[in-house]
Chains A and B, each alone.
Chain A
Amino acid sequence: MTLAAELEPVAVPTPQRALDPETLAEHRGRLFRAAYAMTSSREDAEDLVQETFERVLRRPRFVQRDHDLAYLLRILRHAWWAQSRTRARRRTTPAPPEELEWVTDRHADPQAALDARLAYAAIAELSEPLRNTIVAVDIVGLSYKEAARSLRTRTGTIMSRLYRAREQVCDALGAS
């Protein structure tokens, strides 16, 4: 063996642990917001979160370190794709805005609270890569690195997409 080969870093498998089903409820709120941003419908979002939990609990799941939320978000996206394919075969009209109670961030100013509803509506209109990115970072709260891992892309791509997603959402806010 050459010296270079000896010095080559060895890929150490990342330790995995079983996803604890008891912790699923902790992520309900964030997953619901993500689902609502994707579907623009309270009922569809509820169904999507429920479907996500059911998929997760079908068999034991293993995640790396504390990546539960990123993993759950990926399953939620897969469930949404599956539902979208079914839905695409049917002609539907967009659901109207629904009455939902909104939770305002304590530190947000009143304008931000008003912007939130419009922003969620605008996210539903984004292209899939931009929508997935802004949902992962701004709604679910993943770091750039976690979002990149969840969306199987590079961190730089995440930041670039996030910039463009926010620009487009801001255009929608500005037009209001």
Chain B
Amino acid sequence: MTNRDRTLLVQLADGTLSGRRREQAEKRLARIPDGAERLERQRRVAQALRSGPATPPTLTAASVPAPRRSRFRAVPLAVAATVAAVVAVFVAQLAGEPSTLTQAADLAKRDAERPAPATAGPALREEFAGVTFPEWDAEFGWRATGARSDRLDGRSSRTVYYEHTGHRIAYTVLSGPPLEVPDHARRIRRDGLEIALYRDSDHGGHDVAIFERNGRTCVLAGHVMRTSTLVKLAAWTGDGTVRS
């Protein structure tokens, strides 16, 4: 079959030929071995792809950044935005902590938006960006109490809250490529997992653990008696049954 035959099959399948050109293409197709079958294969895929995933509600009009109104107004706004961004980055660097991670850690102080996901063995029925949230109640006594979804600096995030003897922690998974961990964080390795640890003194002593699962940044934050608790929870995979 020649390249010309292939292009004709594509055009016939898409209905972009008409009149005499279509008749000529159909005559030529009749001479191609299994031409009718090949045409049907092209049509099948093209037709299948007319269906597709619905646009998620989170990607609504509100998520499209507002356009600038006019050039004259945009210039001072752009300058102000740039200055604000530079100041924000500078402040963040002074604090030694990227802003997205700060926001993720701050989710530990927020309320859940919906009930806790159901339990499914050593995992919860909650998965986000390829990361399964663990069920820690049976092993460690940390019970899932709620969940929420957010957008942080253009990234989607999912958080599950856990509680144990009056303490509350938030396990947040961020979509997108992994984030750089703060320079001042202490790095340790547990069961092959690299975990960055630091204490967020601006928020009443929140302990924060940052690690990666399935190439995603995961943030475990909250009040705990010992930092080792976060390490233990972060590294636990339920003997490999918790998919990460």
Contacts and interface: CB of A to CB of B under 8 A. Distances in A.
Contacts of A113: 48, 51
A134 B49 CA distance: 9
A96 B68 CA distance: 39
22 contacts: A24-B64, A44-B175, A46-B56, A46-B156, A50-B63, A50-B154, A83-B176, A83-B177, A91-B215, A92-B130, A93-B214, A96-B127, A100-B53, A102-B54, A105-B50, A108-B48, A113-B48, A115-B48, A159-B6, A163-B9, A167-B42, A170-B41
A157 to B, nearest CB: 10
A159 B176 contact: no
A57 B67 contact: yes
B130 A96 contact: yes
Contact of B47 (A24, A41, A112): A112
B155 interface: yes
Most B-side CB within 10 Å, residue of A33, A53, A96, A162: A162
Indicate the size class of the contact surface on chain A. Answer: 35 or more
A160 B3 contact: yes
A55 to B, nearest CB: 10
A160 B58 CA distance: 37
Contacts of A60: 71
Given A28-B64, A90-B177, A163-B7, A102 B52 contact: yes
A46 B151 CA distance: 10
B132 to A, nearest CB: 9
A147 to B, nearest CB: 12
A103 B11 contact: no
B225 interface: no
Contact of B48 (A46, A47, A49, A116): A116
